[in-house]
Amino acid sequence: MGQLTGLIIFLLIVAFLLRIDFIFYVVYVCIGVYAWSRWYTPRAFARLTGQRSFTDHAFRGEEVTVTLHIGNPNRLTIPWVQVNESIAPHLRQNKLVADVISLQGRETAVLTYPIKAAQRGFYKLGPLRLSTSDLFGLMPEQQAYLPPDFITIYPRITPLSQLGLPSRLPFGTVASRQRLFEDPARPMGVRNYHSGDSPRQINWKVSAHAQQLVVKTLEPAISLETAVLLNLHTDDYQRRDRATYTEWGIEIAASCASHLVNQRQPVGLITNGIDPLLKQTGAGELDFDETSGRLLRQAGTNGNKTALIPPMILPRNGRAHLMKILERLARIEADETIPLTDWLPTACLNLSWGITILVITPRGDEATCHGLHRLVRSGFNPVLIAIEPDYNFGLVRERAQRLGFAAYNITQTRDMDQWKRPLRGKPATSL
Amino acid sequence: MKTEPANPPANGDEYITNIWSRSLTQPVAIAVMVSSIFVGVAGLINAISPGQPWLSLGSVFFLTALEAVYTTNWLHHPDRRTVARTGYRAAEFFFLLLILRVAAWFISKQPLPDLDTIRLFLRAPLLFFSDSFFLAMLILAFLNWLLAIRVGIIFAHLAVSPGEATFYAQPASVQMLHADNKPIYTGRGNLMREFIQVWLWGGVLLIISVGFSSIDLHTLEQQFNVLSLTHLGLPTELLMALVLYFLAGFWLTSQGRLEALNARWLINGIHKHDTIERHWQRNSLFVLLGIALIAAFVPIGSTLPISRFLNIALGVLSYATTMILYLFSFLLGALFSMLASRAPDSQPPPPTPTPLATPQPLNDFVANQQPPAAAADPAAMLVMSSIFWTIFIAAMAIAILFYWRERGYRVNGRFLHQLWNQFMHWVNDFWQNVSNQVGELRHTWQQQQKEDPQPAASKSSWRFVRLNALSPRDQIRYFYLSIVHRAQDSGIPRQQSETPLEYVNNLNDQWPEKQQEFEQLTEAFLEARYSAHPIAKNQANGIKQIWKRVRSVIRNP
pLDDT for B517-552, tens place per residue? 999 999 999 999 888 888 888 888 899 889 888 888
pLDDT for B377 equals 66
**Are A349 and A370 within one domain?**
yes
Kindly calculate the radius of gyration of chain A based on its CA atoms and give it in whole angstroms: 33
Question: What confidence tier does B34 reach under pLDDT thresholds 50, 70, 90?
Answer: very high
Q: What is the mean pLDDT of chain A?
A: 82
**Are A258 and A121 within one domain?**
no
Q: Which residue of B has its CA nearest to A30?
A: B246
pLDDT for B492 equals 86
> Is A65 a member of any domain?
yes
CB proximity under 8 Å: B 215-274 to A: 215, 226-227, 229, 231, 234, 239, 242-243, 246-247, 250, 253-254, 256-257, 260-261, 265, 268-273
Question: What confidence tier does B435 reach under pLDDT thresholds 50, 70, 90?
Answer: confident
**Residues 6+ away with beta carbon under 8 Å from B526:** B500, B501
**Are A384 and A248 within one domain?**
yes
> Is A292 a member of any domain?
no
Q: Which is more confident, B338 or B353?
A: B338
- The answer to whether A75 and A90 have CB atoms below 8 angstroms apart is no
- The answer to whether A85 and A27 have CB atoms below 8 angstroms apart is no
Of A95, A84, A155, A156, nearest to A125 (Cα)? Answer: A84
User: How many Cβ pairs within 8 Å bridge chains A and B?
Assistant: 168
**Beta sheet of A182-192, edge-to-edge order:** A169-175, A214-223, A182-192
Q: Region of A137 please: left (phi>0), alpha (psi -120 to 50) or beta.
A: left
* Angle of CA points B333, B336, B339, to nearest 5°: 155
> Is A117 a member of any domain?
yes
pLDDT for A174 equals 57
**Are A246 and A261 within one domain?**
yes
* Model confidence at B149: pLDDT above 90: yes
Mutate to test the interface with B, among A102, A111, A113, A130 (most CBs of B within 10 A): A102
Q: Which is more confident, B553 or A36?
A: A36
Of B199, B238, B77, nearest to A4 (Cα)? Answer: B199
Q: Is residue A353 within 8 angstroms of chain B, CB to CB? A: no
> Is A264 a member of any domain?
yes
| CA dihedral angle for residue B498, residue B504, residue B509, residue B511, rounded to 10 degrees | 130
Q: Which is more confident, B330 or A71?
A: A71
Q: ω into residue A127 within 30 of 0, thus cis?
A: yes
Q: Which is more confident, B9 or B141?
A: B141
Q: Which is more confident, A108 or B225?
A: A108
The CATH number that applies at residue A342 is 3.40.50.410
pLDDT for B148 equals 93
B32 burial level (CB within 10 Å; 0-12, 13-18, 19+) = buried
Give backbone dihedrals phi and psi of B329, rounded to 5 degrees, phi first: -65, -35
CB atoms within 10 A of CB A190: 16
For chain A, the distance separating the N- and C-terminal CA atoms, rounded to the nearest angstrom, is 77
The CATH number that applies at residue A79 is 2.60.40.10
- The answer to whether A65 and A86 have CB atoms below 8 angstroms apart is no
**Are A370 and A250 within one domain?**
yes
Question: Whole-angstrom Cα distance, residue A221 to residue A198?
Answer: 19
Instruction: Tell me which residue range forms the domain holding A104.
Output: 47-154
Residue range B30-42: mean pLDDT, rounded: 92
Question: Whole-angstrom Cα distance, residue A408 to residue B471?
Answer: 142
pLDDT for B358 equals 42
Average pLDDT by consecutive 10-residue portion of chain A (431 residues)? 76 73 82 89 89 88 89 88 87 81 88 87 86 88 87 86 57 55 73 86 91 84 78 86 88 89 86 79 64 67 70 87 91 86 85 84 89 88 88 89 87 73 44 42
By Cβ distance, the residue of B2, B291, B292 closest to A110 is B2
Mutate to test the interface with B, among A20, A84, A93 (most CBs of B within 10 A): A20
**Residues 6+ away with beta carbon under 8 Å from B112:** B105
**Are A70 and A92 within one domain?**
yes
**Are A204 and A128 within one domain?**
no
**Distance of residue A337 Cα from the nearest chain B Cα, in angstroms:** 43
Question: Whole-angstrom Cα distance, residue B261 to residue A136?
Answer: 11
> Is A235 a member of any domain?
yes
**Are A186 and A320 within one domain?**
no
pLDDT for B373 equals 44
HEC string of B230-299 equals CECCCCHHHHHHHHHHHHHHHHHHHHHHHHHHHHHHHHCCCEECCHHHHHHHHHHHHHHHHHHHHHHCCC
Q: Is residue A109 within 8 angstroms of chain B, CB to CB? A: yes
Q: Is the dihedral of CA B147, B149, B151, B153 positive or negative?
A: negative
**Residues 6+ away with beta carbon under 8 Å from B316:** none
Of A59, A109, A116, nearest to A81 (Cα)? Answer: A109
Question: What confidence tier does B327 reach under pLDDT thresholds 50, 70, 90?
Answer: confident
Residue range B393-417: mean pLDDT, rounded: 75
pLDDT for B307 equals 61
pLDDT for B367 equals 43
CB contact under 8 A, B207 and A14: yes
* Model confidence at B397: pLDDT above 80: no
CB contact under 8 A, B280 and A80: yes
**Are A100 and A198 within one domain?**
no
**Are A384 and A353 within one domain?**
yes
**Residues 6+ away with beta carbon under 8 Å from A169:** A222, A223, A224, A225, A354, A355
**Are A109 and A194 within one domain?**
no
Q: Domain boundaries in chain B?
A: 13-298, 300-336, 451-555
By Cβ distance, the residue of A96, A100, A136 closest to B254 is A136
What is the number of structural domains in chain A?
3
CB atoms within 10 A of CB A342: 14
Q: Is the dihedral of CA A180, A182, A188, A189 positive or negative?
A: positive
pLDDT for A254 equals 92
* Model confidence at B262: pLDDT above 80: yes
**Are A234 and A96 within one domain?**
no
At B52-108, the pLDDT tens digits run 888 888 889 999 999 999 989 888 888 887 877 788 888 888 888 888 888 888 888
